[in-house]
Amino acid sequence: TDAVIGPLNTSDVTEVANFFSNSGIAVISPYANDDSLNSFNDLLISNPKDEVIADQIIEEIGKNFAGEQVYLLTNRDDQELASYTKKQLEKQLKANVVIVDSVAKIVQPHDKVNGEDYYTPIITVLVGDDDCGLAGRVQENKPCLNVLISFKNSSQFKILRMGLRPI
């Protein structure tokens, strides 16, 4: 046996991980992600906590961060996660971060040069699983914004590195 997939709940995963501890056989936890599981060396958690995903997104933003304004677009249900993300972005990147609950509150500076609009780049991170609802608030009849980078399907986080404006 090379690996054990499951069980599903934390208490059973703990029991199985203890049983296979130091055996060289990996245990893969498809759903359980409790902090108590972090002490097992041969345990792979396939559904990480939201903060783990946030840290990965912050790391990715940091690779190309050039001082852009950062917006965290969220809803009431995900304010705690948005606050965590804001604190980490400000701490690690010294970023100017604003939490907003509507795409209409995102301000993208722009100038006109010879009649052409030039938009200043911004970074917007959707914090929540209601990205169509949040993004769709710009105009009811317009499609949701496209996501350029997504770290996990149906995840709590998605990154957009583009200008936000109705099409």
Cα 155 off chain centre by: 7
- Report whether 136 contacts 73 (CB < 8 A): no
- In terms of C-beta density within 10 A (0-12 exposed, 13-18 middle, 19 or more buried), how is residue 92 classed? middle
Interval 20-46: pLDDT, tens: 988 889 998 888 888 888 888 888 888
Question: Is residue 66 pLDDT above 70, yes or no?
Answer: yes
Q: What is the pLDDT of residues 130-147, one digit of tens each?
A: 544 554 444 443 333 333
Separation of CA 62 from chain center = 14
